[in-house]
A and B are shown apart, each in its own frame.
Chain A
Amino acid sequence: MSTQDSTDSSRDATSTDDVRGGTAQRMEIETNGPPPPQLPRVKVRSVPRARVLGLHVLLGVLLLLTLLPIAWLVTGALKLQEDLFAYTFLPEGWRIDRLTFSNIFRLFEEIPFFRVAANSMFVAGATVLIQLFFSSLGGFALAKYEFRGKRPIMILMLMTMMIPAQVMLAPLYQMIHHMGLMDSLAGLIVPSVVSVFGMFLFRQSMMQIPDELLQAGRIDGCSELGLYWNIVMPVSRPMIGAFCLIAFMGNWNSFLWPQIVLHTSDRFTLPIALTQQVGLYEQDYGVLLAGTLLSIVPVVILFLLLQREFISGLTAGAVKG
């Protein structure tokens, strides 16, 4: 990515006329191999500057449209009740001094926010950690060992990936009921300890670990479990980051299952508390927006930390497989 960016900027600095020259330059930087075979020189229409500018303007407008609701959310959460109706974004003349935390304080009065946020954090954290352990260990076995039953396992799991999970709601509800886990945070964690997606993600990335590395570990007297812990997991760190973020985001936004399982308000997770207790009935939109804003902060922080890994993890399955 960085090499591409630098190519772009250097290209722009020189001229935007010769498109083929840019390609040759890119090839050299990216491959480091023998120079690409010379293609016959073709006359390429030059790209007018106006069109380049137009593309940027178009993208800028689209980006603005994308970011508008987010800006509206942030300002709405921090505006006075009367300003929320009077001004679309900031109060007239960018009166930043009219912004307030009053919505946030009202939110804290309406729901036990820190309790609820801690519930969400605990459920998402525990689920992701267990999923990470199970699916990375399983993915390692399926990537690096040959054993009986490997193929049936893979086929079974590929098939279940295409089945909408909602079909399992009724049986899971019965199971959780019989296990006595209704209305408990454990009832949210227990049924979601398996991540088939995670298993495939780890299998795919661990297949690229060279066998020689593992063999060298064995010669040094490392046990198989020691290989997993001392070699495979450290090498897979980017994929671990990607998986944790993707799984955490999914869990943080989990709504249907918690809605079914939880009944007591001090066990609610953020989505349930916000939608059931703050609600739209009272028309107190400022509080609702404040709650939404606070709820997305952890995900945004995690994303900023793990951004690079996230994109590669997301597209790993799609591009290579």
Chain B
Amino acid sequence: MWYRFQYRYAPYLFVAPFIISFLIFGFYPIVRSIWLSFHLTAGPETSVFVGLDNYTVLLADTDFHKAVRNTVIFAFFSVFLQLPLSLGLAMLLNSRLILGRAFFRLGFFSPHLLGMVFVAILFAVVFAPRFGLLNVLLSHLGAPIERDWLGTPELVMPALVLTALWLYVGFNMVYFLAALQAVDRDLYDAAKVDGAGPWGQFLHVTLPGIKHVTVFVVVLSTIGSFQLFELPYLMLNNGPGPDQAGLTVVMYLYQNGFVTGDLGYASAIGWVLVLGVMCLAIFQLVLGGTLRRNP
């Protein structure tokens, strides 16, 4: 009797702490931010209903346009430069001819151990003029050692992309490597029997074999790069940088919500971000055929 009673009600008890705190600190804030985005606020206490005003102002806000452009450029390079490099590196490391693969994997992964915040601090110094590591290295190739990467608007985005490459190529490589190792090696032999060259093997064996992981990594990278904040904010001395070249959507949200104190406007920025990210992610999932498998 007690046993049946327990078995029946135990799962509710088990999920309760998680679900209750999820509803309070996950679900409620999301719903609440929709409500907030229709209000004009000053600080956490006062708010006036203004309908869609926040959104109409936002769509005409040139600073916001700049933030969106910067964020999209960064996300583009994350997906189309960083991920192919990760895949290439993973394929190199997956070769049976390479000795010490665990060592290489650990080495390439190691930047991730520093973590985003500390990488941002480190690279603020790496990009410093005169003695910064990058300029010193480039000066051996004849480049000027005085170049101020983070003080020149045109060089800010390349600096951010380069930092993200250093931080994430090895991280995403781990995913690709795990996927490649799960591909049945016999398929390659079969493809060779059918006369497929290296390129044919890549197209017909490797790519289909790692498709799910690729979709997963692409979606994660997209969502992650649209949340770009710490790297530019910390590398550019707690701000958007020269000519706002490092202003991102989340940085603009932070500035409006917590420097200016307009939580309503910040929530509207947040929801434009959510809608953009959701559309892209769903588009990618449909393109990757992931949604069809699990309706």
> Could you tell me which A residues sit within 8 Å of B by CB distance?
1, 4-5, 7-9, 11-12, 16, 19-20, 22-23, 26-27, 36, 39-40, 42, 44, 47, 52, 55-56, 58-59, 62-63, 66-70, 72-73, 76, 84-85, 88, 133-135, 137-138, 140-142, 145, 147, 150, 153, 156-157, 160, 162-175, 177-178, 190-194, 196, 199, 218, 223-225, 228, 249, 252-253, 255-256, 259-260, 271, 274-276, 280-281, 285, 288-289, 291-292, 295-296, 299-300, 303, 307, 311, 314-315, 317-319, 321
Contact = CB atoms under 8 A, between A and B. Distances in A.
Contact of A225 (B10, B118, B128): B10
A67 B175 CA distance: 20
Contacts of B42: none
A52 B97 contact: yes
B207 interface: no
Contacts of A296: 113-115, 118
Contact of B18 (A199, A256, A288, A318): A199
B267 interface: yes
B178 A171 contact: no
Contact of A70 (B98, B111, B226, B253): B111
B12 interface: yes
Interface residues on B, range: 35 or more
B170 interface: yes
B256 to A, nearest CB: 10
8 contacts: A16-B97, A59-B92, A141-B11, A170-B33, A177-B44, A281-B237, A292-B118, A314-B175
Contacts of B15: 137-138, 141-142, 153
A312 B188 CA distance: 25
A174 B97 contact: no
Interface string B99-142: 10110101110110111111001111110101101001100000
B125 A76 contact: yes
Contacts of B58: none
Interface in B163-183: 166, 170, 174-175, 178-179, 182
B131 A162 contact: no
Interface stretch (B60-68, B76-84, B152-160, B274-282): B274-282
A311 B174 contact: yes
B257 interface: yes
Given A20-B189, A23-B189, A70-B110, A160 B133 contact: no
A84 B131 contact: yes
A317 B213 CA distance: 9
B166 A66 contact: yes
Given A62-B89, A193-B21, A271-B117, A160 B166 contact: no
Given A8-B96, A162-B281, 9 more contacts: A59-B98, A63-B104, A138-B18, A156-B27, A193-B25, A253-B115, A256-B230, A256-B254, A319-B182
A318 B217 contact: yes
A42 B266 CA distance: 64
Interface in B1-46: 3, 6-7, 10-12, 14-15, 17-19, 21-22, 25-30, 32-33, 36, 44
A88 B135 CA distance: 10
B193 A42 contact: yes
A7 B97 CA distance: 11
Contacts of B113: 249, 296, 299-300, 303
A169 B18 contact: no
Nearest to A65: B166
Given A153-B19, A160-B30, A171-B32, A67 B10 contact: no
